[in-house]
Amino acid sequence: MDHLSSYLVLSAILFSLGLYTVVTRRNAVAILMGVELILNAANINFVAFSKFVTHNLDGHLISVFIIMLAAAEAAVALAIVLNLYNDRGHINVDEANALKQ
Amino acid sequence: MADFIFWMIWALVVASAALVAFGNNLIHSVFALMGTFLGVAGIYIFLNADFLAVTQIVVYVGGILVLLVFGIMLTNQISTAQISQSSVQKGLGLLVVLGVLTIILTSVLPHDWVGSITPMAFSETVEGIGRLLFTDYLILFEIASVLLLGALIGAATLARKEL
């Protein structure tokens, strides 16, 4: 627990799982969950480097802004997903390939 | 003891994130995502980030997760608790992601990070974060407020019945 690499490995695994979710899922909400995993992985890296390498609070500040950005992104993305559902009756992103039907 | 708790939380984060990525039931994935968020909050505590840990729980578990559950409930005909989800191109995706993971680990782990031997001792971060937020990061703070206002108006406009 007192070594940087354990946090970096965790962050890399979390990022990879998030990337896999984004790449393979068809459901738009599930893809959003993958994006949240990726953002969490980035946050862990920022805070870990803040503790072990730079020894200041800059990484914490960036993480606060990332969390804020994730909240805004989730709200807007879900509004878009609801519109997609009202329009098509499903939210499978691989079938949403036309601007207007 | 602390070591044991750390590795338990580490395993919790990885296992629940794996359930998010590989699970077949969307509802199970969302609840696994809650495990990931809580686990990451625990990791923040081990990284001396007390303010971030609380923010993580309040914003992610209290806000984003509820939003995701609403998104699932509003976009499915809910007759059972079983909302299945499917994936496409699993093999190719797994191949690409394992490649990315290998690249990250082989480039990050052998590197000798300066100062990684001496972790910072714990001290309260709230005061420092507040101070930095209104000095060095003031512009970013103001931009964030405008962005949040834009997201609020945008989401409210998009979610109306008649667009």
pLDDT in tens, B112-146: 776 556 677 778 889 999 999 999 999 999 999 99
B125 has a chain A CB within 8 A of its CB: yes
State the ipTM, two decimals. Answer: 0.91
Closest CA to B70 of A34, A94, A67, A32: A32
| CATH code of B47's domain | 1.20.120.1200
A92's tokens: 């499978």
**At residue B7, does pLDDT exceed 60?**
yes
Task: Tell me the CB-side half-sphere exposure of residue A29, using CA atoms within 13 A.
Answer: 29
Instruction: Report d(CA A28, CA A74) in Å as an integer.
Output: 11
One domain for residues B83 and B131: no
Total structural domains within chain B: 2
- Domain membership of residue B117 (yes or no) is no
Interchain pair B64, A74: CB under 8 A:
yes
Contact A46, B124 (CB under 8 A): no
**At residue B81, does pLDDT exceed 60?**
no
B18: left (phi over 0), alpha (psi -120 to 50) or beta: alpha
Q: Which residues contact B78 (CB under 8 A, 6 or more apart)?
A: none
Scanning A36-65 for CB atoms below 8 A from B yields 36-37, 40, 43-44, 47-55, 57-58, 60-61, 63-65
Distance from CA of A51 to the nearest CA of B (A): 5
Instruction: Note the pLDDT tens digit of each residue in B36-74.
Output: 999 999 999 999 899 999 999 999 998 999 999 988 888
- Domain membership of residue B98 (yes or no) is no
Nearest CA in chain B to A91: B75
What is the fold of A4-88? Helix Hairpins (1.10.287)
- Domain membership of residue B134 (yes or no) is yes
Scanning A70-99 for CB atoms below 8 A from B yields 70-76, 78-83, 85-86, 91, 94
Report which of residues A99 and A20 the model is more confident about: A20
Instruction: Report d(CA B50, CA B93) in Å as an integer.
Output: 36
Domain that holds residue B10: 1-87
Give residue A5's pLDDT: 87
One domain for residues B51 and B3: yes
Instruction: Report d(CA A20, CA B71) in Å as an integer.
Output: 21
Where do we find the tokens 């299945």? Answer: B84
B156 membership: H or E segment, kind and range: helix B138-158
- Domain membership of residue B144 (yes or no) is yes
Residue B42: list chain A partners with CB under 8 A: none
Helix, strand or coil, per DSSP, at residue B60: helix
One domain for residues B50 and B6: yes
A16 has a chain B CB within 8 A of its CB: yes
- Domain membership of residue B30 (yes or no) is yes
Residue B109: list chain A partners with CB under 8 A: 5, 8-9
Question: How many CB contacts within 8 angstroms connect chain A with chain B?
Answer: 224
Tell me the pLDDT band of B111, cut-offs 50, 70 and 90.
Answer: confident
Instruction: Report d(CA A13, CA B126) in Å as an integer.
Output: 29
Rounded to whole angstroms, what are the CA distances from B4 to B1, B35, B37, B92?
5, 18, 19, 36
B60's tokens: 């992610």
Closest CA to A41 of A66, A76, A73, A77: A66
- Domain membership of residue B111 (yes or no) is no
Q: Which residues contact B84 (CB under 8 A, 6 or more apart)?
A: B24, B25, B26
- Domain membership of residue B42 (yes or no) is yes
**At residue B163, does pLDDT exceed 70?**
no
Nearest to A37 among B36, B48, B159 (CB): B36
Give residue A76's pLDDT: 92
B122's tokens: 């714990």
Instruction: Note the pLDDT tens digit of each residue in A49-92.
Output: 988 888 888 999 999 999 999 999 999 999 988 888 888 887 88
- Domain membership of residue B54 (yes or no) is yes
Domain ranges for chain A: 4-88
Interchain pair B148, A37: CB under 8 A:
no
Instruction: Note the pLDDT tens digit of each residue in B93-109.
Output: 899 999 999 999 998 88
